[in-house]
Chains A and B, each alone.
Chain A
Amino acid sequence: MQKYILRRAALLLPTLIGITLVVFLAVRFLPGDVIDQMTGERGSANPEMRRQLEERYSLTGSVGRQYVEWLSDIAAGDLGTSITTNRPVTTDLRQRLPITFQLGTMALLISILVAIPVGILSAVTQDSVWDFLARSLSIGFLAVPSFWMGLLVLTYGFVWFGWVPPLNYRDLWEDPAQNFQIMIAPALILGAGLSGTVMRMTRSMMLEVLRHDFTRTARAKGLSPRVVIIRHALRNAILPVMTIVGLQVSVVVGGTVVLEQLFSIPGLGSLLLTAINTRDYPVVQGIVLLSAVVVVLSNFAVDIAYTLVDPRVRYA
């Protein structure tokens, strides 16, 4: 087991290096460069100005050298300096990440809380009206664009209930009530969207497990259906479901971009859009890199959890 974990961890390294390479090169293919942005309407007119700025933001020298320098800075925990604010990128990320993290966690939790019971219900009552309704609902949530749902909530929440999510973001620890007011609607919308995928996975895994011999045996022994489902079937179905939940992390990170924009939440997603629009490429790099690393690590964690829980699993 330890050997497996070590091997799996060793595989992380090339992936992470690949990610840094992609992030580094991709930003250099952005349309127009940061110098154009900073010098505005007359940038092209003054090569001297351009040269000075390039020097200041270390855009000179060979691409290879730039990459190595950049990588060693990252290793030292330095993601560069934002071009618009002149603050270290890590400062901004440290401020914004917890907000997005909270939103994503809430959404994932909501999706699990909805999806697993509904998925079980759907599987147990396969092809019945309940099954149909549950599946329709979950696919329905998948089928509705999240920004549209959010707009409906914003518009009619106010028209019907006079409800407005406050503009001033407060930390969870600082002002839980206000934090909750801001976060709950986007978390519900994002969670509802995610629950579709999780629910379908739960359903098909449950169906499969329910046909296995051991569940039949359990039922034959006269155990109540509830005990069979929870103790035997669910325990065996939960692993693949958790894998799907782990894979959802990537979807969550993308989904927060839209919802943060909609609900004015100052998280990583809104920072990303601002940074793309102002061509603040150190910030763009930082966010894309961070989100990719989060996804890789969460997949890694799911894999490890998988092996720890189910010793049968051995990957090549």
Chain B
Amino acid sequence: MKALSTHVFSRLYRIRPEQPNASGSISMTPEPDAAESTEVSPDGLTYTIKLKANVRWHPPVNRPMTADDVVFSWDRFMGKLPGTTPAVNSEKLTFVKSVSAVDERTVRFTLTRKYGPFFSFLADPTTISLMPKETGTAFDPAKVMVGSGPWMFDSWEPGVRYKFKRFDQWHGGPAPYFDALEINVVPEYAQRLNNFLAGNLDALGIDGLDYDRAKKQIAGIHAVMSANTSTYGVSFSHVTDKSRPNSPWTDVRVRRAVSMAINRDELYEAGYSVSQLKAAGLKVPEVWGAYVPQAFPAAYVHPNEGAAKQYMKYDPTAAKKLLDEAGGGFKAPFHYAPAYGRVPTLAAELIVQYLKKIGIELTAEPEDYPSKFVPFTYGGEFEGLAMAGQGGFPDPGNFLEGFYSKDSQRNPSRVEDPKVEEYVKKYYDELDDQKRITIIREWQNYLYEQMYNVPTGMIGDSSVVVYQPYMRGMQDHVAGGYGYGGEATPYFWRDA
């Protein structure tokens, strides 16, 4: 649902649809969606947002969006309306003091403290998606999804397909250029691939190994590298709590040894078939997911730079030596979630095998995602090691705050480090974009030293998406990661 909400619902801001740069990354820059312009008060505590005049709700509501709708959506999201429950991410929004309508087309957000990446925050589909006032009373939004985005919700069959229709009064018009959008859930890869090759599908996330074959079979096929908007790393239970028994990983040398025992080039080859893609003539970025995804090129500290260089390099001999100095090998469970998809699961298996070589014997524990993995890892309740992923946040700071701040609900290693808290405060208080980037780069270097969470380099399930030759518009309008499909699909068109 989350992945599909941006097709139907507008937000105040969205991520600018743009082409990946030479190294395959997209800078995730917020731009106005339903908003027209915003005025920020000098103290950075008040945001006055003017709405576009031509934003309309889908039928059956069928009227222009007003400031009251935005206030309604906010209250609904926060669970302030009778009969509504606070939404999943609402706890992290405590810095917003109030949201009020100034006039028909103006909304005002008042904050309790400064929040640097405020526009990115508004572009996150998991924070606020806009719904009409009628939602609360007239009908159940789970049955009828009414938004103001490019696509109208048509039908949904769980585990089979989602169908959307074009909304011809979308404020971003004349797009969408297709009349309808269908997203099929096809569990078996061979079935997906064959249907694409037979021309029954317009687009498909493909295994790198099959790209060459697809290219030979269908002349003029388009390939777009998936954007890197997520990170997967190895977490250690209660990593900063030195008082716990049987936790050799509270010693930083052990964590560095773990990092150096992982052959990331191999992981990347096994998961995304880099050499095949290169041989087939695709420009493949040397994507190494790290603390911040490469989708934020300015903020991202490449693992070959600075402090990272030494501890991110594959060197099992040095790793073994370091581990032996710190007390030698150990046994521990290794939790991971097959729900992450084929490639991260493959990576988890490879990591178990790599660490065995330096004397760390992990037992693989595949966990059910909602019931076990989420409370275990994000709640930091597991024992041993775990592979935890995060992705799709519109601001790089979210990644570092989420996994390393002691106040975060999503801190798998239960990191409690005053230095990190200093960075969190410094980063969010900074209103200047450039200065924030300097801070976050320094912050990453610190994390590379500490290795509270060892980056694996994995970015998700698929490295490349292929489109049929007649498809147009993808190169100029691609956004990746979960929750952001809605920025790209309206601009696709079909060559006659």
Classify A-B as touching or not with yes or no (CB < 8 A). Answer: yes
Interface-centre pick from A40, A52, A82, A85 (highest chain B CB count, 10 A): A40
Q: Are B158 and A275 in contact (CB under 8 A)?
A: yes
Q: Are B409 and A41 in contact (CB under 8 A)?
A: yes
- Contact mask for chain B residues 169-208; partner A; CB cutoff 8 A; 1 contact, 0 none: 0000000000000001111101100110110110000000
Query: Which one of A118-126, A127-135, A163-171 contacts B?
Result: A163-171
Q: Which of A32, A154, A167, A169 contacts B370 (CB 8 A)?
A: A32
Number of interface residues of B (CB under 8 A): 38
Query: Which one of A18-26, A64-72, A197-205, A262-270 contacts B?
Result: A262-270
Given known pairs A164-B195, A261-B188, the reply for A41 and B159 (CB within 8 Å) is no
Q: Are B201 and A32 in contact (CB under 8 A)?
A: no
Provide the bound-state CA to CA distance between A267 and B186, in Å: 13
Q: What secondary structure prevails in chain B residues at the interface with A?
A: loop
Q: Are A151 and B190 in contact (CB under 8 A)?
A: yes
Q: Are A154 and B188 in contact (CB under 8 A)?
A: yes
Q: Are B371 and A154 in contact (CB under 8 A)?
A: no
Asked if B156 lies at the interface with its beta carbon under 8 angstroms from chain A, I say yes
Q: Which of A82, A166, A266 contacts B160 (CB 8 A)?
A: A266
On chain A, the residues within 8 Å of B200 by CB distance are 164, 166-167
On chain A, the residues within 8 Å of B158 by CB distance are 82, 84-85, 92, 271, 274-275, 278, 280
- Contact mask for chain A residues 125-161; partner B; CB cutoff 8 A; 1 contact, 0 none: 0000000000000000000000000010011001000
Asked if A36 lies at the interface with its beta carbon under 8 angstroms from chain B, I say yes
Asked if A31 lies at the interface with its beta carbon under 8 angstroms from chain B, I say yes
How distant is A87 from chain B, measured CB to nearest CB, in Å? 8
Q: Are A36 and B409 in contact (CB under 8 A)?
A: no
Asked if B57 lies at the interface with its beta carbon under 8 angstroms from chain A, I say no
Interface residues of A in 69-97 (CB under 8 A from B): 82, 84-87, 92
Interface residues of B in 398-425 (CB under 8 A from A): 409-410
Query: Which one of A9-17, A42-50, A106-114 contacts B?
Result: A42-50
Provide the bound-state CA to CA distance between A164 and B191, in Å: 8
On chain B, the residues within 8 Å of A280 by CB distance are 158
On chain B, the residues within 8 Å of A82 by CB distance are 158
Query: Which one of B16-24, B280-288, B325-333, B372-380 contacts A?
Result: B372-380
Interface residues of B in 364-393 (CB under 8 A from A): 368, 370-372, 374-375, 378-379
Q: Are A155 and B190 in contact (CB under 8 A)?
A: yes
- Contact mask for chain B residues 208-238; partner A; CB cutoff 8 A; 1 contact, 0 none: 0000000000000000000000000000000
On chain A, the residues within 8 Å of B379 by CB distance are 44
Q: Which of A45, A85, A261, A278 contacts B91 (CB 8 A)?
A: A45
Instruction: Write 30 A-B pairs (CB below 8 A) sorted by A numbering.
Output: A30-B371, A32-B375, A39-B88, A40-B370, A41-B410, A42-B88, A42-B91, A44-B375, A46-B91, A52-B85, A85-B158, A86-B140, A151-B188, A154-B188, A154-B190, A154-B194, A158-B194, A158-B197, A162-B198, A164-B198, A164-B200, A261-B187, A261-B188, A263-B191, A264-B184, A264-B185, A264-B186, A266-B159, A270-B160, A278-B370
The 3 A-B residue pairs with the shortest CB-CB distance, nearest first, are A32-B371, A274-B159, A37-B370
**Beyond the given A31-B371, A273-B187, could you list 18 further A-B residue pairs with CB under 8 A, ordered by the A residue number?**
A32-B368, A32-B372, A36-B371, A41-B378, A41-B410, A42-B88, A42-B409, A46-B86, A84-B158, A92-B158, A164-B194, A164-B198, A167-B191, A262-B191, A264-B186, A264-B191, A278-B158, A279-B370
